[in-house]
Amino acid sequence: MNYLKEIKFHYLLLIALALLVTWVYTNHDNNKFVKATEKSISSVVIVASYNNSSYSLRPVSIGSGVIFSKDGYIVTNFHVVSQGKVVKVKLGDGKEQVAKIIGFDINSDIAILKVLPEDLLVPIRIADSSNIKIGDKVLAIGNPYGIGISVSSGIVSATGRDYGNPYLELIQTDAAINPGNSGGALINEKGNLIGINTKIFSKTGAYQGLGFAIPSNAITEITSEIIQYGKVRSAWIGNFRVSDVRVNLSNKFLNGLRVIEIDEFGPLYESGVRATDIIIEINEAASSWANLTESLKSLTFGEIINLKIISSNGEIKAIAISSDDVEKFN
């Protein structure tokens, strides 16, 4: 009998210890998130775009932004500010300023704003996004649905997500990102920026656990280019999205990239490429996502990229596309 009581005692003791360890771990985890939020939340601002300078009408677009430097540079998404004529920024202390758009990059959906420097501007600390790993805990800070700065938590679900855009790879997270979060911060447990929240994948337009952020390393490069030159000095062949596909060509299966979307301007479109066309060769090498992204990264202005295409009518054609400056088409 005493033996059974002893077993029961030890069993209950183990349960108590397990609950204690869980509580300590959870409490420690929560404290890390609280400290991370306190460290970075003042660096995230509300961004609103208006059609007139009187602000008598509702904004045409509302989003978020991140203070990048003490001299007043703010990073946001281009789609947040592209529709209006005047942009206002609301800082953490409630003060509002009219912001100047310094420049933007359509390919990455990044715009740089400038406000008057103030003592209260707190630039966010930036982490090396190449060090993030799947499963890392993250916080998303932004202005969802225009209700004010809010925080949600999640993990890094994937890295190197392309979302079909060959110019940029993204971080995927399940932290709640909703309309209005665009341009806001994705931070790590230390409160340092690892990405700028940019889009969601949703059939309803609301959060479904599939959010995407532009990595901080890309943000740093893009921001530096825009601040210095007003644009990103990268070669461009057009705005388009592709997806992997297998092609049966004369009883031989090849990897290809199907064009699923293409804007009706730019060198690629002008060369005759259309949605549903399939790229089966890039610079005389096999067609693959890696080959396409690397070929675009290494392009210089005026340089040729050679593609072999299967058009929607089954015709196979080789085309030589000369890269250009995206600003010529804006």
- 312 catalytic? Reply is no
What six digits make up the tokens of 204?
């309803």
Q: Which of 150, 182, 234, 323 is catalytic?
A: 182
Tokens 């758009």 label which residue? 101
Q: Which of 49, 64, 109, 295 is catalytic?
A: 109
Residue type at 95?
K
Separation of alpha carbons 303 and 301, rounded Å: 6
The residues that bridge with 252 in the sheet, in sequence order, are: 249
Per the rule left: phi > 0, alpha: psi between -120 and 50, beta: everything else, 145 is: left
- 182 catalytic? Reply is yes
Q: Are 170 and 198 in contact (CB under 8 A)?
A: yes
- 109 catalytic? Reply is yes
Q: Which of 43, 79, 277, 323 is catalytic?
A: 79
User: If DSSP states are collapsed to H, E and C, what string results for 149-160?
Assistant: CEEEEEEEEEEE
Q: Are 59 and 70 in contact (CB under 8 A)?
A: no
What are the residues whose beta carbons fall under 8 Å from the beta carbon of 274, sequence distance 6 or more? 259, 262, 311, 312
Please list the active-site residues. 79, 109, 182
